[in-house]
Amino acid sequence: MTADAALWENPQSAQKLMSEKNNLEYALGNFREMMQNLNDLAELAELAEAENDEAVLVDVTQQLETLRETVKHSELEALLSGEVDANDAYLEVHAGSGGTEAQDWAEMLVRMYVRWAEAHSYKTEYVEETEGDVAGIKSVTLRIGGRNAYGWLKSESGVHRLVRISPFDSGARRHTSFASVGVYPVIDDEIEININEADCRVDTYRASGAGGQHINKTDSAVRITHIPTGIVVQCQNQRSQFQNREAAWKMLKARLYELELQKREAKAEEQRDALSDIGWGHQIRSYVLQPYKMVKDLRTNVETSDTRAVLDGDIDMFLSASLADKVGAHD
C-alpha cells in the first residue's frame, strides 16, 4: 500500500500511514529479536544441563532475567498508542518558592531527567535555562529526543516535593522544597495548529544560563506569551534571534497542542490545578532524604528506599506504573 503513488496525493494521510507502518515494523523487529534470544538461551541451557556446567546455567539464568525485564518493558511500550506518544518531548522544570533551596532542587530534577535520558540513549538539548540567584536553576526547558520520549515522560507533569537537611542552612535544619515539571510533545510540521499572532506578546532578552556549550549568551533570547492561555515559552540556545524566535513558536505550538489533547481527554482542569500552585497538596511524588530515605509516587503508591538511584535517573518504575495505571483506568 505504501508503494502506491496515489497514497502521496494526500501527504498528511500518507505521513500518518508511514508512521503507523514504522511503529509496527519496530514492534515486530523487537518481538523477533526477543524470540531469537529466548530460543538461543533455551538451547544453551540444554547444552549446559547435558554437560552439568553450573557456571553456564547461572549465566543463562541471569540473561533470562534481563530478557524478562526487556519483555515487560516492551509490553508497556506497546501501550504507547496515543497520537503523539512516539514524538520527542519538551520537559520544563520550574523552581517553587523557597529561594536557593528550591532552585537547587530544580537543578537536581533536571539532572535526574538528563541521566534517565542518557540511560535510554535519548538525546537531550537545553532550549532555555535561567540560573538561580546563588545556586541551582529557576527554570530549564529540555528537548528530549528519541522514540516514545513523550509517551514515557508525559506522566511526569506535576509538582515534585523534596524533604532533606538543607546544605544551605547553617543550622542544619530540615527543609521542604517544591519544583514543578511540565512535559509537552514536540509537534510534527504536518499537524496544523493555528496561532493568532495578535494574541501573543514577543519579548527579547539576554540569556542568563550557567554557561557551557548549550548556552549562547547574546541579546537574542526570545520569550513568547500566549495571552489567552497564559502560556509562556522561552528559547535562548540558538545563534540568532530569528532562530530563537522560530524555535519558540514551535514550542508554543507544542504547548497549545498538548492543551487540546487535554481537553479531548477532559483533563485540562485537572492539569491546570496540578501545576497552578507549586506547593502542598499538589505534589505527584515525594523525595524524602531525611529523617529516612524514601521516594514515593502519590498516584500509584510505588515507592523505593534507593533514593540515590532515583536521583541518578532510575525512574522507570514510576513511569511504568503510571502508564499501566492510566491504561487500566481506561479499560
Q: What is the pLDDT along the chain (331 residues), one digit of tens a residue?
A: 555 656 656 655 666 666 667 767 776 777 788 788 888 888 888 888 888 888 888 888 898 888 887 777 677 777 776 778 888 999 999 999 878 999 999 999 999 999 999 999 999 999 999 999 888 999 999 999 998 899 999 999 999 999 998 887 777 788 899 999 999 998 866 566 778 889 999 998 887 665 444 454 556 899 999 999 999 999 988 878 888 998 999 899 888 888 877 776 654 445 545 555 565 566 899 999 998 999 999 999 999 999 999 999 999 999 989 888 776 544 4
pLDDT in the model for residue 237:
84
Residue 233 CA to residue 218 CA, distance in Å, equals 18
Tally of structural domains, the chain: 2
Bridge-based pairing of strands 221-226 and 231-235 is antiparallel
* Same domain as 111, residue 55: no
Q: Is 221 within a domain?
A: yes
**pTM of the prediction?**
0.69
* Same domain as 181, residue 287: yes
Q: Is 84 within a domain?
A: no
For residue 140, which of 155, 154, 150, 130 has the smallest C-alpha distance? 130
- Beta partners for residue 185, in sequence order: 89
* Same domain as 279, residue 145: yes
* Same domain as 32, residue 148: no
pLDDT in the model for residue 59:
87
Helix axes 54-77, 11-50, angle to 10 degrees: 160
Residue 286: φ, ψ to 5°: -115, 135
Q: CATH number of the domain that 213 lies in?
A: 3.30.70.1660
The answer to whether 234 touches 225, Cβ cutoff 8 Å, is no
Q: How far is CA 255 from CA 211, 226, 229, in A?
A: 26, 10, 10
Q: Is 153 within a domain?
A: yes
Residue 207 CA to residue 113 CA, distance in Å, equals 22
* Same domain as 33, residue 99: no
Question: DSSP secondary-structure letter at 210?
Answer: -
Which cell numbers in the block locate residue 199? 494574541
* Same domain as 206, residue 57: no
* Same domain as 42, residue 95: no
* Same domain as 281, residue 247: yes
Tell me which of 36, 53, 77 is where a domain ends.
Answer: 77
Residue 250 CA to residue 252 CA, distance in Å, equals 5
pLDDT in the model for residue 144:
96
* Same domain as 309, residue 262: yes
- Beta partners for residue 165, in sequence order: 174
The CB density around residue 82, as the number of other CB atoms within 10 Å, is 16
For residue 226, which of 246, 255, 206, 204 has the smallest C-alpha distance? 255
Q: Is 83 within a domain?
A: no
Residue 321 CA to residue 331 CA, distance in Å, equals 15
Which cell numbers in the block locate residue 7? 497514497
Q: Is 136 within a domain?
A: yes
Helix axes 54-77, 316-330, angle to 10 degrees: 50
pLDDT in the model for residue 105:
96
pLDDT in the model for residue 212:
45
Q: Is 133 within a domain?
A: yes
* Same domain as 189, residue 40: no
* Same domain as 111, residue 43: no
Q: Is 193 within a domain?
A: yes
Amino acid at 269: E
Tell me which of 77, 98, 126 is where a domain ends.
Answer: 77
Q: Is 17 within a domain?
A: yes
The CB density around residue 217, as the number of other CB atoms within 10 Å, is 12
DSSP-H helix ranges across the chain = 11-50, 54-77, 100-119, 149-153, 241-264, 268-276, 307-311, 316-330
Question: Which residue range(s) make up the domain with 17?
Answer: 5-77
pLDDT in the model for residue 120:
92
Question: DSSP secondary-structure letter at 12?
Answer: H
Tell me which of 77, 103, 135 is where a domain ends.
Answer: 77
Residue 166 CA to residue 101 CA, distance in Å, equals 7
* Same domain as 216, residue 109: yes
